[in-house]
Amino acid sequence: MAYLFTSESVSEGHPDKIADQISDTLLDNFLAFDEESKVACETLVTTGQVVLAGEVRSNTYIDVQDIARNVINDIGYTKGVYKFSGDSCGVISLIHEQSQDINQGVDRDSKEEQGAGDQGMMFGYATTETENYMPLALDISHKMLIELAKLRREGKEITYLRPDAKSQVTIEYSDDNTPLHIKAIVLSTQHDDFDTDDEKMLSKIKKDILEILMPRVIAQFPEKVQQLFKEDITYHINPTGKFVIGGPHGDAGLTGRKIIVDTYGGKGAHGGGAFSGKDPSKVDRSAAYASRHIAKNLVAAGVANEVLVQVSYAIGVAEPTSISVDTYNSSNVDLTNGEIAEKVSKIFDMRPAAIEKRLKLRNPIYRETAAYGHMGKEPRTVTKIFESPYSGKVKREVELFTWEKLDYVDQIKEAFKLN
């Protein structure tokens, strides 16, 4: 019997994502001037206020208030009418030094034996469902909001958009897990109060979403996915009606409150640890990236059509306490899940220091992860410039989304004797 599956995404202007982007931009600035910085930074945003908290150990000093304001302005909160603006909001910093009790469990005389920054379990997932090995419902949800933000910034075809937005996609699947068609799409977008007639205003928004946004989104997908966008899709566009009050004025935002949006949209599993604001010694982040890297390369190599990788750690201990693999009965090799996991543990060194080195995680690469998902994006090299009134200016060329690289496919094929 066919079944339904749903995933959601949120825009860069969603309150929780504002918080994530501030936390990760602070992290980037610390790493840009001191790559050994230990950072765990949390952000709260609400009407006219930003609160920064957490623990940092670093040899540099940055202007955290100025950085937070710049992020808010970059996202698009630049007008007083939003009740939240980078130029006018208050910014309170409660950041203090990292606990020595935690630090002594992480640092070692030998970098390779660096202990895990915390206990816990992390997951990585990949599927052949899309070209970027991500779940389809989440991929569509992300792309809708990325394109909506482009329309907002262009300010030509749709002129009334504000930064806050959410999307949701429901797909009907066959018994063999093949997508049959898109059942429902939900899109809520914040907007200017551009008409005194609320019904007329909502009608205009629905028309623009269906006739301007959706064709641009659909065109990004291959033909097999485009065919899933059939005429009988149920669209819920701003289903509550008016959505003028939004952003931190409508809801408070917190770092780490969109962990399912950040990963796989409810597919696979999640260990519960958030990513943003944490340097890579925190395995919540680094091991989740490494697990995605493993899962994606396993699927790309043809080991299975769907893979979930779990890894777990004890705080202060370098070697993981476990590595497991689930192929959801989609394996293309004559091995058990346990045997596949044993081979994986020999191919990939999952000690925290090895993960940091393999994926180049001690670079300022995190602002780009903090909206529209940490997984499924195209790896690329960019040049970044960081300025500090205390440390001057640095220019860094860095690789983004290294965990998305298919650089272990040949090695996996050899290990699993795949052509």
Neighbours of 134 (CB within 10 A): 27
Catalytic residue among 53, 184, 252, 269: 252
Catalytic residue among 12, 14, 301, 374: 14
| Residue 219 assigned as binding residue | no
| Residue 175 assigned as binding residue | no
Neighbours of 194 (CB within 10 A): 12
| Residue 274 assigned as binding residue | yes
Annotated active-site residue 230? The verdict is no
Amino acid code (one letter) for 411 = Q
| Residue 300 assigned as binding residue | no
Annotated active-site residue 282? The verdict is yes
Please give the sequence-ordered ranges of beta strands (E in DSSP) within 224-318, or none if there are none.
Answer: 234-237, 253-254, 306-313
Annotated active-site residue 206? The verdict is no
Distance CA 315, CA 177 (A): 38
Token readout for 336 is 């058990």
Distance CA 163, CA 12 (A): 7
| Residue 211 assigned as binding residue | no
| Residue 395 assigned as binding residue | no
Catalytic residue among 166, 191, 296, 358: 166
- Integer CA distances (angstroms), 196 to 66, 162, 193, 222, 242, in order: 38, 18, 8, 41, 11
Annotated active-site residue 357? The verdict is no
| Residue 36 assigned as binding residue | no
Catalytic residue among 5, 8, 12, 17: 17
Annotated active-site residue 252? The verdict is yes
With CA atoms as reference, report the closest residue to 38 among 256, 277, 275.
277
Catalytic residue among 183, 191, 249, 278: 278
| Residue 243 assigned as binding residue | yes
| Residue 191 assigned as binding residue | no
Annotated active-site residue 166? The verdict is yes
Give me the phi and psi of 404, to 5 degrees please.
-95, 0
Catalytic residue among 8, 16, 118, 139: 16
| Residue 42 assigned as binding residue | yes
Annotated active-site residue 354? The verdict is no
Annotated active-site residue 55? The verdict is yes
| Residue 149 assigned as binding residue | no
Distance CA 105, CA 317 (A): 8
Catalytic residue among 35, 36, 53, 55: 55
Catalytic residue among 143, 162, 258, 270: 258
Catalytic residue among 284, 306, 326, 356: 284
| Residue 98 assigned as binding residue | yes
| Residue 207 assigned as binding residue | no
| Residues 141/265, Cβ–Cβ less than 8 Å | yes
| Residue 55 assigned as binding residue | yes
Catalytic residue among 38, 57, 282, 292: 282
Please give the sequence-ordered ranges of beta strands (E in DSSP) within 119-214, or none if there are none.
Answer: 120-127, 161-173, 179-191
Token readout for 152 is 């907002």
Catalytic residue among 28, 42, 279, 404: 42
Catalytic residue among 57, 152, 257, 267: 257
Annotated active-site residue 251? The verdict is yes
Annotated active-site residue 87? The verdict is no
Concatenated DSSP letters of 330-388: -B-SS--HHHHHHHHHHHS--SHHHHHHHHTTTSS--GGGSSS-SSSPPPEEEEEEEEE
Token readout for 11 is 């825009």
Catalytic residue among 36, 251, 319, 349: 251
| Residues 39/58, Cβ–Cβ less than 8 Å | yes
Annotated active-site residue 211? The verdict is no
| Residue 258 assigned as binding residue | yes
| Residue 69 assigned as binding residue | no
Annotated active-site residue 204? The verdict is no
Binding-site residues for K(+) sit at 42
* Residue ranges of the binding site: 14, 16, 42, 55, 98, 164-166, 242-243, 251, 257-258, 274, 278, 282
Which residue ranges make up the annotated binding site for ATP?
14, 164-166, 242-243, 251, 257-258, 274, 278
- Would you please indicate which residues are annotated as catalytic (active-site) residues? 14, 16-17, 42, 55, 166, 243, 251-252, 257-258, 278, 282, 284
Q: Binding site for L-methionine: residue ranges?
A: 55, 98, 251, 282
Q: Residues annotated as binding site for Mg(2+)?
A: 16
